[in-house]
Structure 1
Amino acid sequence: MVRMQNSAITRRGLAGLLALGALPEAASAQPHAAAKTVLTIATATTPSSADPHFYAFQPNFNLALHVFSRLVERDARLRPIPGLALSWAPVEDRIWEFRLRPGVKWHDGRDFTADDVAFTIGRIPTVAGSPGSLAGYVRPITRVEVVDPLTVRLHTAGPHPSLPNDLTFVAIVSRHAGEGATTEDYNSRRAAIGTGPYKLAAFQPGSTVELTRNEAYFGGAEPWERVVFRIIPQAGARSAALLAGDVDLIDEVSSNDAQALARDSRVQVVETQSTRLTFMQPGFARAGELPDITDADGKPLPKNPLLDLRVRQALSLGIDRAALVERVMEGRGTPSGQWLPAGFYSANPAVGVPRFDPEAARRLLAEAGFPRGFRLVVHTPTDRFANDSRIAQAVAQMWTRIGVATVVDALPYAAFSARASRQEYGVWLHSWASSTGEASYFLSNVVSTVDRAKRAGANNWSLYSNPALDALTERSFTLLEPAAREKVLQEAVQLVADDLPIIPLFHLSLVWGLRPGLRFEPNMSGYTAATMVRPG
């Protein structure tokens, strides 16, 4: 097995991470003299759209990494590095200035300028029909000032220290191709004109994603002339395709398959720790009766029991996280009680792994008025996260042992996410990668009160709302001094640990498989991009 969690980032490897274009300007004068080659990648989940602003969804971000560029990119350890912006700095408490890379061309040959940045930021909140808007990433921006073609200033409502990190998710699109364009215009490729290392050659959700090399890419031409993505939802089928030589790289290798692949000379296995937290999500949207939660006799409950903190505490105490990691994940995970791994900025060292205590769980259920427990349906995707349905089954068994008779409803992610985002579920299994490497990303998107005007809670499918937590989150966005900001974020982490709007399980270890003769630089965000793959 090749473990690269702490490996050094080489000069060329840096270009092949999330930093699509984060090379010194001189790199553009050294194009890669690559032979004509095709790279085939099998992924577990299909991107739902080629519109990079439609949905804050990792497979969509993964596709956008190829076609578009961002002002600020990230390396494999989630550190911000130059992209379309060569530098950035606050010139006042409420103004960030970004100096743009000269000579960048759109795929159609037109010049990239600061006006495209202004268009992009204005477009994001207007995209219709999104199940998870990107508006939260540009939420603090009140005005975009185009100083000159290569300088842009972003004015914010208050001091906003995390703005460069937030912008690592914002693909810059062109005004000339995007003005008046709909999401379907991006899906049909008409508006999918980027500055990235690849051009979109074909796109059909669920079946076809094909890319061709952008010979004029400002970071230097990639080694792969063509890239083909195959969507193979079943982990075993992806591994079989790799072993058969049908694909070159696969993502989301299951824990069982990882053991077998690591012993097979026909393939390589690459692994790294991630910031992705797998968690159980209680629903807060309904105060009254829920269709998938009943009393011990199967009769409807007049009140949603998940609104009672004692019930949420009981469910947390009923989970043996160490057993989940050891038995279900084959050791590829780290039990956790918060959404950031230990050692990251704003992770709270006082928040430990919740204890496993079935007796205490039963006592809390009795105190909450459920001495005989109740019945519950847990919903889960089958094809989105590593071992997702197996994890849900294991948690269901643990909850059944404390008196909450639990069954599992498993669906493909497309159907699951549509229903979860409409608040049709009481409890579900979910996962989130804190790809900015600090706490505010999760706070503002997953547990902030949904507020479209403030662009907060874009991925808060549970409709949880806590004014005290919102106040801490908002305050964190006003503090430029890192130590003061970290203290506030850690307070918010503690509040979430106490109130349990989510029930954390573990941080996932990420595993990829690839054929010999290739090098892959793993990244903590879990992306699987052609730009991360090199011959040799």
Structure 2
Amino acid sequence: MRAVSRGVPVPSRRTFLKHTGALGAVAAVSLTGCGPESTIYTGGGSGRDRSLTAVIGYGNDGNWDPTQTASAFAMAANNHIYEGLVDTDPISRAPYPALATALPPDPSATTWAFTLREGARFHDGTPVTADDVVFVFDRILDPDTPTLAKGFFAPWLRAVTRIDARRVRLELKFPFPDGVSRLTLAKIMPRHVFSRPGAWDDAIKGLAIGSGPYRQSAHHPKSNTVFAAFDGYNGPRPPAFRTMNWLTIVDAAPRVAMISGAGAGVQIADNIPYANIGQLEGGGMEVGSGAGMNNLFLMFNTAHRPFGDVRVRQALRYAVDTDTIVQVALKGHGRAATSFLDEGNPSYRRARTVYGYDPDRARRLLKEAGADGLGVELMASNVSWIMDCLPTIKASWDAIGVKTTLAPQETTAVFTKLDQKRDYQVVAAASNPNQFGIDADLIMHYNYGPENLWMGYTRWADDPVARRLFRDMDRATREPDPERKKALVQGYIDLVAEQAVLYPVVHNALMTAWDPRRLGGVRAQPYPGINVLQATWV
């Protein structure tokens, strides 16, 4: 596959099926505290001698390769196992030096030089060198290697070269200060391990060897992953626990049961259903929410008539009773989308097209498009909160004369069909690009671009309007002035809203519960995973 200047290239079928765990991803938490000696108390003894048990509401059997994955579980785990040259705070997303000793003094420069932390070692005891850094970036930028990370770097990063054993140079195509934070998405991996034949396949399956504060000590797909403190770690965020055991429990009832009652088996659980918030709070648990880009989206197959007609797509959007979805399905923990971006995003502006509930307008648009008597099969991910939203969508469409059939199924099954280019009409599923970052350029390129995954599914990339969009996106990426860039992004988001090819219906808050008698400093995040790199203890 050739390199692309916009968007994310399409990985292989196997690659995509492994990383679709991000779809329907749920809330995360950050446990931030007071420095290297911070610990979490889990029942007697010093914190450094204790173990943390967490229950995670999504699978640990997705893709673990950091250059490819969008798996919620794997990305959260990799943030503890690996380091980038730069990593970001889990809440503010502000960058800090990780493997590098300092941030670039001038983020607007077109050359950045980094020195690696002295004494940094991988979990197998070998030193981290400049060759390892170059190895990872060469893979990401290789035009013949399809990786998810390529879409986050190829538009602005020209090359990464070795200066000496502990120094590397990054050459940019143009000034791109936002790239500093994106360096956390390039986790540095040992060349001597992952250059071996078959090693990348092993990485997909769960082989994980990094330089971070925790090493992977056991991995059982569909059951749990165990971590142990890495004694050789000398970086800025040392381990707070002797071991961590992350259980994967996708079904809501047993997941909630694990953190309920005085004898709860875990200290923290995410993906808490809205209906269980009161129960857990009544039992002494604290439940926090994080609002961000987590969303229910509708995606149309523009090659299947009549969904190539923008009036049909708009009609089906105006027909959806979003207030009922928010109040009934989300129990008030969400908002109808007023832009592709959530309202808390720094680049947010209300889009010129907002799909308020307007069934009369929806009927008129369908009539203008000659789509009277339309029948729709809505293929949907069976994520629990998505399932709660589907009856309202069906009732809304039925009410304007659209005969609607719901077809919920496993998330992997949905995206297997899409990746195999099977025909479909409309898809409803969940997505959360905030796990990669919060800058609008990154979010929009993750979802839109001439050769990325999503545009392949919509069959829209060759449309003249799409080609105009891609040009506008390139121009915004290259714009050096922050305010001008923001205005350009907001402008092309207006086009995305008008076209409604792939667009959020609601943005919803994500819930995480923890025991405040044991855990301190917990803040809920609006993206997948847990982060305990700065933990406190009670």
1:15 shift after superposition: 9.4
Match of 1:316 in 2: 317
Identity level (%)? 23
Shift of 1:317: 0.3
1:462 equivalent to 2:458? Answer yes
- Which residue does 2:22 correspond to in 1? none
Alpha-carbon distance in 1 for matches of 2:144, 2:537:
41
Matched, 1:279 2:277: no
- 1:204 alignment partner, one of 220, 225, 231: 220
Change (3 A) 1:179 1:171: same
Q: Does 1:249 align with 2:268?
A: yes
How big is the shift at 1:488?
1.1
Matched, 1:105 2:152: no
Written as runs of structure 1 = structure 2, the 5 A alignment for 1:76-475 is 76-85=91-100, 86-89=102-105, 94-124=110-140, 133-140=148-155, 141-180=157-196, 181-186=198-203, 192-217=208-233, 218-243=235-260, 245-265=264-284, 267-284=285-302, 287-288=303-304, 304-351=305-352, 353-372=354-373, 374-383=374-383, 387-424=385-422, 425-435=424-434, 436-450=437-451, 456=452, 461-465=457-461, 466-475=466-475
Q: Provide the C-alpha distance between the structure 1 equivalents of 2:391 and 2:534, rounded to a whole number of angstroms.
A: 34
CA deviation string 1:397-446 (max 9, x = no partner): 21121222222222222323322333433211233324222221122121
Aligned counterparts of 1:440 and 1:150: Cα–Cα separation in 2: 31
Determine which of 43, 47, 65 is the counterpart of 1:34: 47
How many residues of Structure 1 are paired with residues of Structure 2 in the alignment? 490
Gapped regions of structure 1 (runs ≥ 5) = 17-31, 289-303, 451-455
- Does residue 1:69 correspond to 2:65, yes or no? no
Q: Could you say which residue in structure 2 is the equivalent of 1:293?
A: none
TM-score normalised by structure 2 residue count:
0.83
> 1-side partners of 2:105 and 2:322: how far apart?
42
Unmatched 5+ stretches in structure 2: 1-26, 40-44
Contact 1:41 1:247 in 2 (8 A): yes
Amino acid at match of 2:457: W
Q: How big is the shift at 1:459?
A: 7.5
Q: CA, structure 1 residues 68+192, in 2 after alignment: closer, same or farther (shift >3 Å)?
A: same
Equivalent residues of 1:5, 1:273 under 8 A apart: no
- Give the Cα separation in 2 of the matches to 1:392 and 1:61: 28
Q: Secondary structure at the match of 2:240?
A: coil
User: Retained in 2: the 8 A contact 1:74–1:168?
Assistant: yes
Q: Secondary structure at the match of 1:203?
A: strand
Match of 1:508 in 2: 508
Conservation of the 8 A alpha-carbon contact between 1:95 and 1:155 = yes
Distance 1:222 1:5, change over 3 A: closer
Shift of 1:260: 2.3
**Secondary structure of the structure 2 residue equivalent to 1:497:** helix
Residue 196 of structure 1: CA displacement? Answer: 1.3
Find the counterpart in structure 2 of residue 528 from structure 1: 530
Give the 3-state SS of the residue equivalent to 1:387 in structure 2: helix
Distance 2:189 2:143 in 1: 13
Q: CA deviation at 1:98?
A: 3.4
Local SS of the residue matching 1:271: strand
Change beyond 3 A, Cα 1:9–1:484: farther
> Alpha-carbon deviation of 1:535?
2.5
Q: Displacement, 1:188?
A: 6.4
- The answer for the alignment partner of 2:6 in structure 1 is none
RMSD (CA atoms): 3.1
